[in-house]
Amino acid sequence: MQQLKAKKLEMRTPQATKTAVLVIGGAEDKVHGREILRTFFGRAGAGDGHITIIPSASREPSIIGGRYIRIFEEMGASKVEVLDIREREQCEASHIQASLEACTGVFLTGGDQLRLCGVLSDTPAMDILRQRVRSGQITLAGTSAGAAVMGHHMIAGGGSGETPNRSLVDMATGLGFIPEIIVDQHFHNRNRMVRLLSALSSHPDRMGIGIDEDTCAMFERDGWLQVMGKGSVTILDPTELTHTNEPHVGATEPLTLHNLRLHILSHGDRFHLYQRTVLPSVYRISS
């Protein structure tokens, strides 16, 4: 009976699509197994791919860009380049646009998400990148600040360790690759649950995604996300939310959220962004 149940669930397991969007919680393993980075590398075409690194969020873009170049070259990449974009005007340059038109994978590094959005948003380069991601032509990955920008609404900063309230979170507009979600990174490592709850109370039409360090939520084009890495992905689902006092209280007053659904997912677990269904890894049959 259990075996039959497992087989039925296995039939629901989505087949991996070639391209994906990898949302990484930061501090991903760059030295040992490199599972998350190797997955991005494989989805971006492996040795035949053309990987473009955008370190615009970093205060030291050339240093951080160089580090990722070495990592992907060690994996066997034949073409890796850094687009060291520091000013919005650079996004109009022909060589920047040509790289984004030709590449098979783009990696957004960590740093400051406001800096990254300030450089990229509403530019010709961003138009190319968004269109190619949405049409499934390239694999996109973002770590730390590069993960924070994935939604339309973005957590730009804030506090932790208090009762949820509006003053705990600073919101801005992200890059909108996956507009339905609000992402927070370094999640349990920096005690950011209340920050994400506070953000979600202002935008209950979105899905809250909290991603731990060295952990990735990989979004397939069919709507499934899969968790990989050594931490967990926390999903705050407000689909059945019945009440929040957010519109009626002051910035520092405690927030209420009624009937909010919570999922904690670990390596191998899957969640469907639109159906709101979970597929635990325990029910997946190894081939």
Annotated catalytic residue 162: yes
| Bridge pairing between strands 20-24 and 215-220 | antiparallel
Q: Mind giving me the DSSP string for 232-262?
A: -EEEEE-TT--EE-GGGS-TTSPP-EES-EE
Q: Which of 28, 56, 99, 186 is catalytic?
A: 186
110: helix, strand or coil? coil
Pair type for strands 169-173 and 153-158: antiparallel
CA–chain centroid gap for 132, Å, is 17
Say how far apart CA 228 and CA 244 lie, in whole Å: 32
Give the integer Cα–Cα distance in Å for 47 and 222: 25
Q: Answer for the pair 75, 41: CB distance below 8 angstroms, yes or no.
A: yes
Question: Which candidate in 56, 58, 99, 144 is catalytic?
Answer: 144
Active-site residue 78, yes or no? Answer: no
Helix (H, G, I), strand (E, B) or coil at 181: strand
Catalytic residue among 81, 162, 180, 253: 162
Q: Is 10 a catalytic residue?
A: no
DSSP letters, 29-68, are: --SS--HHHHHHHHHTTGGG-EEEEE-TTSSSHHHHHHHH
Sheet containing strand 278-279, strands side by side: 79-82, 50-54, 105-108, 139-143, 20-24, 215-220, 224-229, 270-272, 278-279
Contacts of 119 (CB under 8 A, 6+ apart): 56, 85, 86, 87, 88, 90, 91
Q: Which residues are catalytic?
A: 144, 162, 186
